[in-house]
Structure formats: C-alpha cells, structure tokens
Structure 1
Amino acid sequence: MKIRMLSVFVDDQRRALEFYTNVLGFQVKHNIPVGEDLWLTVVSPDEPDAAELLLEPAGHPAVKPYRDALRADGIPLAQFNVEDLGAEVARLKGLGVVFTMEVTDVGEALVAVLDDTCGNLIQLLQDKPAANTESPGAD
C-alpha cells in the first residue's frame, strides 16, 4: 500500500497555487478545471511520481470549524520534510513567509511551523541523523 494523494483545504486555489509552487517550490502535476474550481495537485520536484498534494477548495461547511480549531491550538494541517531546516526557514522568511513557530529541537528532529496564506499551518521537519547505537570497539 502506498500513499497516492493527500488533501490540503485552501481558501483560494489560485493563491495556493502561487504559494505552493513559487514560494514552497512544489511543481504542478494536475491543473484541470472542474466547474468553478480546479483539480489542482502539486508534487515535489525531487519525487514527481510520488504522493500528490491536492489543493482542495475549502468550501465544505465542516472545513472552517476544523481548520479554525487546528489553528487555535497551533496544530499544523500537513508536514513537509526538508534537508536543511535553518536554510529553508531563512529562504522562506526572505520571501515574506510568516512562521508561527521558529526552529525548535524536538529530540529526533528539528521543526518549524509556517502560515501558508491559504488558511493552514504547515510544519517543516528536518530529521536528525540517527545516533550510532553500537558500542565502541564492538565488531
């Protein structure tokens, strides 16, 4: 079993397209008109055939209370892995991205949380290298 697609509800698909591609660096996989909305997915340029992120319109009545509750509690809706969190945060801040949580060491990873300008908090995560668990001199 593999993850094929995940959804992020967005207030404005065109603004989300701008943010997720030109700011975060994803690339468009599908941009298909469906009535007044779009079937709009983005992927990592490093893994274009991996999981897609659907930038889904937030019009369903259940979305607003759900996202409002998450934001009020500071809970990110999605998480994206990065190689160098410090460099990525600096790059994004240079583009005007607002962070609601600065780089924080949480033990096995470093995390930071940003506002995607489309109604969501997004967590960026950098895994720390696994500690060497072998005892010295063991062969």
Structure 2
Amino acid sequence: MALGISQVMIYVEDQQRAVDFWTGKMGFKVTRDMPYGVDRWIEIEPPVGGARLVIHKAEPKWPALAQDRPNHVLFHADDIVKTHEELAARGVEFTQPPKQEPWGWSAVFKDDEGHLFHLGQR
C-alpha cells in the first residue's frame, strides 16, 4: 500500500493575508484558488513540492490556536541557518532563531496571523 499526506489545513482569520504571507515571504505557490461556499478553497505548495497547505477560513465559533507554542505543522530545510537568513530578509519573524538542540537544529517562526511554526533541519 502506498500512503502519503496530500494536504494539511491551516485555519486563518484572513485568507488573503495568509496567502500573501505564504507566497510573498515563504516562497510557496498557489496551486488552487476557487470559491468554497462564501469563502475560498486555497491550496499552496512549498518551493520543493510535497504536501500542500490548505488556507481555510476559520469559523468564529472555533477555538483559537495556541499563540504560545508552535502548531502541528512542522517544516524542514536542508540548511536551517541559510533558510533562516533568507526568510528573515523577506520579513518572516522568528521567535526562536536556529539553535542546536539534542535532537537537531530547531527554529520557530510566526506567520502574519500570529501562528507559530517549527522549522527543523534534515
């Protein structure tokens, strides 16, 4: 059996602000943007391909994501120090710059919605 991950949803307040962050600052590309009820179904793909992120409009009744720790989407880079420098130069805010941990290199960045994401090194 071949099994993989095709998409991961990120729930946001402002879909366009999220698209602008992920495409403009992170270098992702929009692969699908279409009407979805009163909102949009937006899929974005990382520069190296792989699983896509779905930028989904959060419902007001949904609980807010924790703002004090990274969420459940983890990213990786081949060279975390170089990636950190490039992303920071594009305006990505890092709450934790790259540092060596017992398990490997680790950094944490924030999107324009205030969500925290982990960045590791392969």
Band of TM-score, shorter chain: 0.7 to 0.9
For these two proteins, the number of residue pairs brought into alignment is 120
Whose helix proportion is higher, 1 or 2?
1
Unmatched runs of 5 consecutive residues or more in structure 2: none
Alignment deviations for residues 21-72 of structure 1 (CA, whole Å, 9 cap, x no partner): 111111111101223311001112322xx321111112252231xx1xx223
CA contact (8 A) 2:75 2:118 kept: yes
SS at match of 1:71: coil
Aligned-partner residue type, residue 61 of structure 1: K
How far apart, in 2, do the equivalents of 1:56 and 1:109 lie? Answer: 31
RMSD: 1.6
Structure 1 residues 16-25 or 74-83, which shifts more? 74-83
Contact 2:25 2:91 in 1 (8 A): no
In the TM superposition, what are the counterparts of 1:57-136 in structure 2 within 5 Å? 57-64=57-64, 67=65, 70-72=66-68, 74-127=69-122
**Which has the larger Rg?**
1
The secondary structure found in structure 1 opposite 2:41 is strand
Give me the whole-angstrom Cα distance separating, in 2, the residues matched to 1:92 and 1:45.
Answer: 13
Structure 1 unaligned spans of 5+ = 128-139
Residue 31 of structure 2: aligned partner:
29
Q: What TM-score, normalized by structure 1, do the two folds share?
A: 0.78
Q: 1:44 to 1:75 in 2, by over 3 A?
A: closer
Amino acid aligned to 1:45: P
TM-score norm. by structure 2 comes to 0.87
Quick one: percent identity of the two aligned structures? 28
CA displacement at 1:15 relative to structure 2: 0.8
- Hey, what does 2:13 align to over in structure 1? 11
- Aligned partners of 1:57 and 1:112: how far apart in 2? 26
* Residue 109 of structure 1: how far off its partner (Å): 2.0
